[in-house]
Structure 1
């Protein structure tokens, strides 16, 4: 599935599991800037929304609720992402509110969050720059998680390397030639990787059977090899 459908499902899932102000904040607060961050940065970089929480409630030092645009929790580490526009965050005439916002960011770090500010203007003008800056920051934590989970077998990783290198759809017969495995094994592992979300099966209109597999790009591409 593409971004639009996966994003819709992801937001609806979080809304369905919330009540009260936590639900209302997500329905009201997940706006244009947040969606642009997901579409232009997070989705191209990650390929999924696993462990990412929108409009995440955190209590500040006064025990008052504060909603972070996004919190990513891939394990023990916690990242807080805030999309910041120039107007609301720099030209804000409410100095008390501005001061409290800065104090909240400091408190989030005390509470164990790594706080990352995302410039709204960069999302529109240069999202590739944001990806370039985020990738080395997030990479070590995602790599550790994948290693702990043992997510892919050696043969699966070999298949993914081929997919990254060729950047094209893969047929089981291609794996027979590249890896020296039999066709049955190739089909078995392509099915496994499809179930893990790394390939989309492509059905032939003529035969109605799966004839090839479309690779689903992921942030893990950049550290798996």
Structure 2
């Protein structure tokens, strides 16, 4: 069972603070603020439920060996992903031509170095996090799926996943009963089966589970 976000977040940041010294530690203390925490809370945590392989305020070097920091770097065994939460004021309105060019060149350079960059606007993270979660899963999902054992899906399971995708929200047993004309218990059993296969994530605990959210692997499987 997952702990609460606040507990996991505090442990996550403290762990990285204890590992760092000098400017890397100072950058984490200064740079990990409201927007960055909100990205974790509204987007990352609902999808993954863990901060494993995630690094806040991650130092990189550009083509001139100039030090820069990504909001987050996700470094699993199967790839390198950079995540950034961009506010309109700091990243667009107040950006001059030189900084704009550098921003584009930096992303191109990182792409050439094997990174996959993922940018979210602060407005979306705050007001439309479900869009960010969907995009995050679409980028990382194919890489995650190739590194996990693939279990076959029953035709009913595919129909449930298509329903969850079309709803644009968490799917409930009631939604499945209406789609398939089955009773509540059977619908819940099918949903639990998709949880076991890593396609869905229950929202709530124990008897209080009322809905299920799609995970990265589910979206990828629907596109096969």
Report the TM-score, using the length of structure 2 for normalisation: 0.66
Counterpart for residue 181 of structure 2: none
Does the 8 Å contact 2:78/2:143 carry over to 1?
no
> What is the RMSD of the two structures over their aligned residues, measured on CA atoms?
3.1
1:98 lines up with 2:94 in the alignment? no
Shift of 1:222: 3.2
- State the distance in 1 between where 2:56 and 2:20 align: 11
What SS class does the counterpart of residue 80 from structure 1 fall into?
Answer: strand
Task: Say if 1:127 and 1:220 are closer, same or farther in 2 by CA, change over 3 A.
Answer: closer
Does the 8 Å contact 1:47/1:218 carry over to 2?
no
Counterpart for residue 23 of structure 1: 25
Counterpart for residue 7 of structure 1: 9
Deviation per residue, 1:188-210 (Å, 9 max, x gap)? xxxxx9xxxx99xx9xxxxxxxx
Does the 8 Å contact 2:47/2:133 carry over to 1?
yes
Deviation per residue, 1:115-167 (Å, 9 max, x gap)? 111111101111011112222221112223333xx9x9xxxxxxxxxxx997x
Structure 2 unaligned blocks of 5 or more: 152-170, 174-188, 190-195
- State the distance in 2 between where 1:222 and 1:76 align: 19
Does the 8 Å contact 2:61/2:67 carry over to 1?
yes
Q: Which consecutive segments of 4 or more residues in structure 1 shift more than 3 A?
A: 212-225
Task: Say if 1:223 and 1:143 are closer, same or farther in 2 by CA, change over 3 A.
Answer: farther
Structure 1 unaligned blocks of 5 or more: 153-163, 167-177, 179-192, 203-211
Q: Which of 59, 65, 69 does residue 57 from structure 1 map onto?
A: 59
Aligned length: 173
Does the 8 Å contact 2:35/2:85 carry over to 1?
yes
Query: Which structure would you say has the larger Rg?
Result: 1
